[in-house]
Chains A and B, each alone.
Chain A
Amino acid sequence: MKKLINSVDNVVTEALHGFAAAHSDLVKVNFDPKYITRAEAPVKNKVAIISGGGSGHEPMHGGFVGKGMLDAACPGAVFTSPTPDQMLAATKAVEGGKGTLHIVKNYTGDVMNFELAADMARADGLQVQSVVIDDDVAVKDSTWTAGRRGVGTTILAEKICGAAAEAGQSLSEVSDLCKKVNARGRSMGMALTSCTVPHVGKPTFALPEDEMEIGVGIHGEPGRIRMKLKPADEIVELLMEPIISDLPYQSGDEVLLFVNGLGGTPLLELYIVYNKAAEIARKAGLKITRNFVGSYITSLEMAGTSITLLKLDAQLTKLWDAPVHTPALRWGV
């Protein structure tokens, strides 16, 4: 294992110290238990929004804490859900009098830990609602699995709901909006290489030089199908077809096209992916009115990409365009 670390046991803590030092104008980091809040938290008279998950997906979620997006993020160990005490403490730290929304990615551990945290918060008299994001079309038989994973749509939901909370919407309105974004977002990913969890010290799975995994998640878990490597355009077709056919899109629908890097793929290649994905979307009659390209939800140093389509409307577009100022996203300010 070759990594820029000092000790496998201190990876998350040391990274958080650096994050706090780099972005002290925007965020505050609490270390015991671990959570990140906006520098100005709690924001009075605004619905608070919290997300969290294992570390190793940076900039998600800590990079999205700030004005117009999240109020707090709870980082777990690498690829491991954070624990309920973190979420409970974060909820108490950001509660501004209008309740708190927990945005949870659909993984067994995340869902259970957030459920326990919400139970504890309610027992303490706090108002909490939770929305689970499950947008990964690679997971098919949802009755027979833990259900679709939460991937790229999570960030879009955090941005859009953050703007709605900033605009003064109520907890139930922001919660309904989050469900709406989840219902209109679909994603699928693929990997060219595995990734190495610092604690483990070697790649999570072995992938020969000439093969790839289609339908991967964001934790180095193998995908659904392994096949011979193909040119980028053919790979993009393999990802776009299940996405477009999963959500009934109509010709003329406005969409946001999000091409994401998994951590080890250069932007140069992401634009090759975007080029083909946009062409396929146009051929399907979709109007790409917003786009988003970059490595925002990653799987350590995994090389690969995920594509997310979000069906927009006037409300979602307006909220997407609203000002945001966080360590990883900034526009309109």
Chain B
Amino acid sequence: MTHDDARVPVSMTVNGRVRSMTVEPRTTLLDALRDELGLTGTKKGCDRGECGACTVHVDGRRVLSCMTLAAMQNGRCITTIEGLERDGDLHAMQAAFIEHDGFQCGFCTSGQITSAIAMIEEAKAGWPSAATADTGRPFTMADLSRAEIRERMSGNLCRCACYPNIVDAVAEAAGRS
């Protein structure tokens, strides 16, 4: 069943470029990125908000693109895995994942990397986590232990169980950035 007459216009900035399109209201941001814009680096794992493979940044915050509608993103700035490199140079987090062999099959990797980059910004902003001993104090980057990284990254599942290497990669990139 198609509903071309029900398509609605939406305009968002994706990886620095303004992209205008029409979508069915039921199109998730994930499906719009993959099917309308051809940005297939963002992966569809569970499509239920349980695995984190579809993580992208909306206005700088990590979100699950499978659990929000494309038509709700009017005027928002979206960054996907394709938008991280600069002039052919990988983002420090991408380089750290290669250096530390932070993946096996790679399906969760774009979600892991986009999630980790925004997670470090959350930590820099002083946000605590469930692993933080005293949430009443401002959180500092010196507090970003491996236990903190594991807790803050728990929304990104890896069926290959590359977690130790993922934590190594994120820890290194957190120190470097």
- A joins B in a complex: no
